Structure 1
Amino acid sequence: MKHIKSLLAPKLLFTAALLYTCFIAYGSLVNTGSLPKLDYAVSDKLIHALSYFLLFIVWFFYLIFKSNKIFYFKKTTFLCVIVFCYGIVIEVLQGTVTTVREADYYDVIANGVGILFGCFVVILSKNKILKLKNSI
């Protein structure tokens, strides 16, 4: 049973990470004017930070659980760069491909804040995450 869990975990994490990545791309590039308005104001910068925090976390868990070798800090640094570049690409696409969205440097900064927060969380939680990985 333990072997089955260890084989399934990376596949499920990869699927979740890929779907969430596509969800962010879709949500960032479609016209949101037809969506219902919320009764309360939520900063779009907060949404960016939370979205990219979760994006970093889900890809981080996939990278950690898919490999037997643990290069914790290398994977963390690599992922910070990749997710940040993804956010920049999405912003460029908003400014060039869509007619209803526009690129915003502050969105890139908010994305970076979310990624850095995710980075700090996984660094501070290293022992717990590795213990979880070893228990599967």
Structure 2
Amino acid sequence: MNLTKNLLVPKQFYFWIALSWTGLIVFFCLIKSSDIPAVHIANLDKVVHSFFYFVFTSLWFFFFKKQLNSLTIFKPLLLSFMFSIFFGIAIEIVQTLFTTTRKGDFFDVVANLLGAILAICVILFFNRYTNLNKV
């Protein structure tokens, strides 16, 4: 059964899904803000940032977990969290330095951090009640 399970979800699958999500984040964070439809809900952009980084951290966790073939979840969890934080900060720096219509925002970094922390909490919660070590 374990061989069948491993064949169903190869390492490349996790990589391409995580990389695709990363590309989606880059696209939406670097396009002209006027190209994004305006919705006037207070702090909606921060909720979107948190959601993006919740998914980002989760997807990279599953990739690192599969890639490292780790017996515990802690190393892949730390790697995905750190990658998420550094990537989020890098995007904000790139917005400031290389775009004319976007500016980096400290509160976007905070929202990214909250999304990453929420992903870590959810992963730890599910690990406690299921066995993610078998993923």
TM range (shorter): 0.7 to 0.9
Alpha-carbon contact 2:72-2:133 (below 8 Å) kept? no
| Greater mean deviation of Cα atoms: 27-36 or 42-51 | 27-36
The within-5 A match list for 1:1-136 is 3=3, 5-9=5-9, 10-38=11-39, 41=41, 43-127=44-128, 128-130=130-132, 133=135
Q: Give unmatched runs, 5+ long, in structure 1.
A: none
Cα deviations across residues 33-63 of structure 1 (Å, max 9, x unaligned)? Answer: 134334x526100000010000001111122
| Greater mean deviation of Cα atoms: 118-127 or 67-76 | 67-76
| Residue 36 to residue 105, structure 1, CA distance change in 2 (3 Å) | closer
Alignment partners' CA distance in 1, 2:59 and 2:47: 18
Alignment partners' CA distance in 2, 1:6 and 1:66: 12
Write the letter of the residue equivalent to 2:3: H
| Greater mean deviation of Cα atoms: 6-15 or 85-94 | 6-15
| Residue 131 to residue 29, structure 1, CA distance change in 2 (3 Å) | same
| Residue 85 to residue 15, structure 1, CA distance change in 2 (3 Å) | same
| Residue 16 to residue 129, structure 1, CA distance change in 2 (3 Å) | farther
Structure 2 length normalisation: TM-score? 0.86
How many residues are paired up? 132
Say which SS state the counterpart of residue 36 (structure 1) adopts: coil
Q: Give unmatched runs, 5+ long, in structure 2.
A: none
Alignment partners' CA distance in 1, 2:19 and 2:52: 14
Write the letter of the residue equivalent to 1:130: L
Alpha-carbon contact 2:70-2:76 (below 8 Å) kept? no
Say which SS state the counterpart of residue 35 (structure 2) adopts: coil
